[in-house]
Amino acid sequence: MAKLGFVGLGIMGRPMAGHLIAAGHEVWLHSRSGVPDELKEKGGKPCASAQEVAQAADVVFLMVPDTPDVEKVLFGAGGVAAGLAQGKTVVDMSSISPLATKAFAARIAALGCDYVDAPVSGGEVGAKAASLTIMCGGTEAAFARVQPYFELMGKNITLVGGVGDGQTCKVANQIVVALTIEAVGEALLFASKAGADPAKVRQALMGGFAASRILEVHGERMIKRTFNPGFRIELHQKDLNLALAGARALGLALPNTAATQQLMSACVANGGAGWDHSGLVRALELLGGHAVAQG
């Protein structure tokens, strides 16, 4: 059995670390807000710092909210870097900046350790069901070493490329998802205000090139007015911020990502930080003074 570490035991990290423990691995744990009793009872080993986790484990997984959190957990006082020794592996499963990831990986490599970025999609449901999609960046050797642990947490696991490419892929995913939700919102709102039944329109569109999982799932939420998450708008807003900050650094224009991020801000301004991201349609509905459907 392997010696593993897990830093960050929130809504996502808790069930993910639980799967590693349940598979029989020794798992050292640390979290800003303490280690949950349920993980201690399963055999997880609580540590006072990320540094202690890295001293004990050969592979350290991170699952924290944002880029500054990863930086602090890795390189802050009592951080992972202070506990690493040559030959260990850091696996960051948080969703953070691809560009910062490349810099973090270089600093970890200077300590003689491997770095794999492995952000996920699938949310709390996928974390609990061990069905996460995992998008990885790193060397083939490092990926091969940690792949068995990914298989305990997810189903659709891809090595996209070198370090940072996993985060880049996650950002690309969030761009497509946000903009497709927005597209479905504009289309259903247009149809509804023109007097057509949005449910019939959705059904007709599912047969052609407009078909997508978003039209199917999020389109239905817009029509049935079920905006409980799911995936919260404030989280998706963070991901689009990563896209726009990355685009600025890379020298790219992402016009519809920018506009869609503004629509998410409009949702937040109207109390929607916690709405499911399909609730993005409500920003369009405010602009048009009309809702896709009653509910």
Site for its own copies in 172-231 (CB under 8 A): 172-173, 175-180, 182-184, 186-191, 193-197, 200-201, 203-205, 207-215, 217
- Of 10, 65, 274, 288, the one binding its own copies (CB under 8 A) is 288
Cα–Cα dist 188/79, whole Å: 49
- Asked if residue 265 binds its own copies (CB under 8 A), the reply is no
Closest CA to 89 of 58, 62, 135, 53: 58
Helix (H, G, I), strand (E, B) or coil at 84: coil
Interface with its own copies includes 138 (CB under 8 A)?
no
Applying CB under 8 A, among 5, 18, 44, 164 the residue interacting with its own copies is: 164
Structure tokens at 280: 């993005």
Does the annotation mark 170 as catalytic? yes
Residue of 170, 193, 200, 238 marked active site: 170
Q: Establish if 269 lies at the interface with its own copies (CB under 8 A).
A: no
Q: How crowded is the C-beta side of 233, counted as CA atoms within 13 Å?
A: 29
Shortest CB 291 distance to its own copies, Å: 12
CA distances, 257 to each of 44, 55, 179, 236 (Å): 41, 41, 7, 11
The amino acid occupying position 77 is A
Within 39-68, the residues that bind its own copies by CB under 8 A are: none
State which of positions 106-135 bind its own copies (CB under 8 A).
121-122, 133, 135
When the beta carbons of 80 and 215 are compared against its own copies, the nearer one is 215
According to DSSP, the β-strands at 120-121 and 132-137 are: antiparallel
CB under 8 A: which stretch of 16-24, 41-49, 140-148, 259-267 binds its own copies?
259-267
From CA 249, how far away is CA 265, in angstroms rounded? 22
Q: CB nearer to its own copies: give 204 or 269.
A: 204
Q: Considering the rule CB under 8 A, would residue 248 count as an interface residue with its own copies?
A: no
Residue 221 to residues 17, 19, 183, 184: CA-CA distances in angstroms? 31, 31, 14, 11
Q: Segment 83-102, which members bind its own copies (CB under 8 A)?
A: 98-99
